[in-house]
């Protein structure tokens, strides 16, 4: 059943005669069900032609000094025949051209003066197939997708001009046209293309999918359509660092909402002029949202930084914990880049023992995303076999939201350490036993000198929950500590020139220093432990 009614005839005939395509005519007539838009272009033109035919020649366009009725109807039929003949000659053929854009081979197409060919060529099966070929060649792994399009901002200007024309025509019939009565171009485009994409790729369209296929359209011929708006509404077009042009869709829409109807008509033709060429496709891009891998790592080397150690552009050590783990993940997930985070960090000369330190890695734009638990175990084993400096456990895929568990309450968590302490004065076992009795000792730590270049100057209060000592000899003892996360252990031992108070040196009335430090546990219950 044809979607237009007798009430729509005047508007449909007016739009068609001024160069508007059938699908845009449907939009301005408020056709809000999908089926008519999905018909092939040739069939749409034939149906529209039949609809507008009238035995009594009773449809007359009201224009100044109209020509005889018979001439006008003949011109209308000729226009329909021209478009119909074009459709028979090859509906919307698309090809790659030398500059890398996709453009029309059919130079005789009467291009729609509103959508600039978007609802003519670029929602036909041939174009969708070309997009799908690029998707399949991209090498991404996906089970659904979200399809996004970016239209030239001047389409909004042309749509506004056409809506004013339709509004005027409907007013002559004592009818009204609201903004919500017009089906948006993007909606109509998706109604047509989504089923075609699903059929061609064999996967559903899902707005929540992490895999996105985006198509960016441009129309150089009409790029200046928007420029008059800047002179009338300059406050809407403010330069932004991340935008190449001030004429964004949002800025244009903001200006169109402000401009008076009479001012618009003085500056822009209603109906809009017909262009010579259809839009070009600037780019077809595929991208996958980040995936996240978490685990815990042990660090056994006292000569390995957590992240690459680079000073003044010069690398100081050949590797890092981050790289020993991430290099394997990048290769297997076929990701473009990564971001590493962890629950705290240890110094280059500090080992991390026990159950290890929680970490998470964001893998950006991964091409492979589906792994079995066995494959993840094998990946963990591959990491562990590649180096004796680190070991990874509990490696698993996690969500972005789950990473928050690693960071939340970080200051309230506890960490356990073991340290080998040196004293300048000779000590006996009884000289250190009093440390075992100290519980929940509050200390004030001014930002250590060694990190002052990357941390703001501040005084932070931290708690030493408990200490346990083991005598070694008259100048050495082992100190086992349980502290609030964020405590600078080295500074608690030697005092950092009085910047940490109290400290082991001041408590024992000696000069103390730390020779070795190990992280024994990081008490964060994340990620979940896995069975070996």
Cis, bond preceding 9 (omega within 30 deg of 0):
no
Q: Is the pLDDT of residue 88 over 50?
A: no
Residue 108: pLDDT band (50, 70, 90) is: low
Give the E-state strand segments of 300-450 in sequence order.
310-311, 314-315, 337-342, 351-364, 390-398, 414-423, 439-446
State which of 411, 446, 477 marks the end of a domain. Answer: 411
Q: Enter the pTM of the model.
A: 0.81
pLDDT (0 to 100) of residue 446: 97
Predicted pLDDT of residue 409: 63
In a domain, 190, yes or no: yes
The reply to whether 18 and 139 lie within a common domain is: yes
Predicted confidence at residue 218, as pLDDT, reads 96
* pLDDT bracket for residue 57 (50, 70, 90): very low
Question: 106: pLDDT confidence band, cut at 50, 70 and 90?
Answer: very low
Q: Domain check: are 315 and 279 in the same one?
A: no
Catalytic residues: 347
Residue 214 lies in a domain: yes
Q: How confident is the model at residue 70 (pLDDT cuts 50, 70, 90)?
A: very low
Q: What are the residues whose beta carbons fall under 8 Å from the beta carbon of 427, sequence distance 6 or more?
A: 471, 474, 475, 477, 508, 510
Domain boundary among 411, 441, 460: 411
pLDDT of 285 strictly over 80: yes
Tokens of 221: 């011929």
Give me the CATH number covering residue 466.
3.30.70.3190
List b or e across 504-530, with b for residues whose CB sees 16 or more CB atoms inside 10 angstroms. bbebbebebbbeebbbbbbebebbeee
Q: Which of 330-339, 396-405, 499-508 has the lowest mean pLDDT?
A: 396-405
- Kindly state whether residue 105 falls inside one of the protein's structural domains: no
Q: For residue 388, what are the CA distances in angstroms to 182, 376, 385, 442?
A: 66, 20, 7, 38
Same domain as 339, residue 466: no
Which candidate, 529, 516, 528, places its Cα nearest to that of 346?
516
- Same domain assignment for residues 353 and 381: yes
CA 248 to chain centroid: 18
Cis peptide before 112 (omega within 30 of 0): no
Residues 399 and 448 in one domain: no
- Taken as a whole, the chain contains a residue count of 532
State the DSSP code for 367.
S
Task: Check whether residue 302 and residue 368 sit in a common domain.
Answer: yes
Q: Where are the beta strands (DSSP E) in 229-344?
A: 280-288, 291-299, 310-311, 314-315, 337-342
Give me the CATH number covering residue 322: 3.30.70.2510
Of 351, 379, 411, the residue that ends a domain is 411
When pLDDT is cut at 50, 70 and 90, the band that residue 281 belongs to is very high
Does residue 445 belong to any structural domain of this protein?
yes
Contact 469, 518 (CB under 8 A): no
Alpha-carbon separation of residue 513 from 26, 247, 438, 439, 526 (angstroms)? 82, 63, 20, 22, 33
Examine residue 394 and state whether it is found in any structural domain, yes or no: yes
Domain that holds residue 434: 414-522
Q: What SS3 state is found at 4?
A: coil
Residues linked to residue 104 through DSSP beta bridges, in sequence order: 94
Same domain, 400 and 424: no
Average pLDDT over the chain, rounded to an integer: 89
200 and 168 in one domain?
A: yes
What is the distance between the alpha carbons of residues 398 and 362, in angstroms, rounded to a whole number? Answer: 10
Number of H helices, E strands in the chain: 16, 17
Residues 460, 286: Cα–Cα separation, whole Å = 47
3-state SS class at 191: helix
pLDDT of residue 72: 40
Q: Is residue 164 part of a domain?
A: yes
| 147-176 pLDDT tens trace | 999 999 999 999 999 999 999 998 888 777
pLDDT(437) > 80:
yes
Cα–Cα distance measured from residue 403 to residue 32, given in angstroms and rounded to the nearest whole number: 43
Tally of domains within the chain: 3
Lowest-pLDDT range of 31-45, 82-96, 193-207, 446-460: 82-96
Angle at 312 between CA 310 and CA 315, to 5 degrees: 30
Q: Are residues 302 and 381 in the same domain?
A: yes
* Shared domain check, 458 and 368: no
How far is the C-alpha of 77 from the C-alpha of 54, rounded, in Å?
A: 11
Question: Is 388 in the same domain as 510?
Answer: no
Whether 398 and 418 share a structural domain: no
């Amino acid at each position: 059943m044809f979607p237009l009614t007798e009430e729509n005839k005047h508007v449909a005939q007016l739009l068609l005669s001024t160069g508007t395509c059938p699908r845009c005519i449907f939009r301005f007539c408020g056709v809000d069900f999908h089926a008519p838009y999905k018909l092939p272009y040739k069939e749409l033109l034939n149906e529209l032609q039949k609809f507008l035919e009238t035995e009594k020649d009773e449809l007359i366009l009201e224009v100044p000094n109209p020509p005889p009725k018979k001439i006008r109807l003949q011109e209308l039929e000729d226009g329909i025949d021209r478009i119909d003949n074009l459709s028979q000659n090859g509906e919307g053929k698309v090809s790659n051209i030398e500059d890398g854009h996709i453009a029309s081979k059919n130079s005789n197409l009467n291009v729609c003066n509103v959508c600039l060919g978007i609802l003519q060529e670029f929602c036909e099966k041939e174009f969708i197939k070309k997009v799908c070929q690029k998707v399949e060649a991209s090498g991404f792994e996906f089970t659904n997708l979200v399809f996004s399009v970016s239209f030239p901002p001047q389409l909004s200007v042309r749509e506004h001009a056409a809506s004013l024309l339709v509004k005027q025509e409907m007013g002559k019939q004592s009818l009204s046209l609201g903004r919500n009565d017009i089906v948006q171009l993007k909606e109509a485009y998706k109604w047509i293309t989504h089923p075609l994409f699903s059929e061609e790729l064999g996967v559903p369209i899902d707005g929540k999918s992490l895999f996105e296929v985006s198509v960016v359209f441009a129309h150089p011929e009409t790029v200046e359509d928007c420029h008059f708006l800047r002179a009338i509404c300059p406050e809407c077009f403010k330069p932004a660092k991340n935008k190449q042009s001030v004429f964004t869709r949002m800025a244009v829409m903001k200006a169109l909402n402000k401009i008076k109807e009479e001012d618009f008509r003085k500056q822009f033709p209603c109906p809009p002029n017909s262009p010579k060429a259809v839009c070009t496709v600037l780019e077809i891009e595929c991208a996958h949202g980040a995936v996240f891998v978490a685990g815990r790592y042990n660090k056994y080397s006292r000569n390995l930084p957590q992240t690459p150690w680079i000073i003044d552009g010069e690398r100081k050590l050949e590797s890092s914990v981050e790289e020993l783990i991430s290099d394997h993940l990048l290769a297997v997930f076929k990701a473009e880049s990564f971001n590493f985070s962890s629950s705290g960090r240890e110094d280059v000369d500090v080992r991390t023992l026990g159950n290890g330190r929680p970490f998470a890695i964001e893998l950006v734009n991964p091409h492979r995303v589906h792994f079995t638990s066995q494959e993840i175990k094998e990946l963990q084993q591959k990491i562990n076999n590649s180096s004796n400096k680190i070991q990874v456990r509990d490696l698993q895929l996690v969500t972005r939201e789950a990473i928050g568990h690693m960071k939340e309450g970080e200051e309230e968590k506890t960490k356990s350490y073991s340290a080998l302490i040196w004293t300048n004065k000779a000590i006996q076992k009884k000289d250190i036993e009093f440390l075992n009795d100290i519980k929940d000792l509050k200390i004030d730590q001014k930002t250590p000198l060694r990190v002052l270049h990357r941390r703001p100057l501040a005084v932070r209060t931290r708690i030493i929950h408990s200490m346990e000592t083991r005598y070694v000899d008259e100048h050495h003892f082992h100190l086992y500590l349980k502290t609030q996360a964020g405590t600078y252990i080295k500074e608690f031992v030697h005092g950092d020139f009085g910047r940490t108070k109290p400290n082991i040196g001041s408590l024992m009335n000696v000069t103390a220093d730390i020779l070795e430090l190990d992280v024994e546990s990081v008490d964060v219950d994340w990620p979940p432990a896995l069975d070996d």
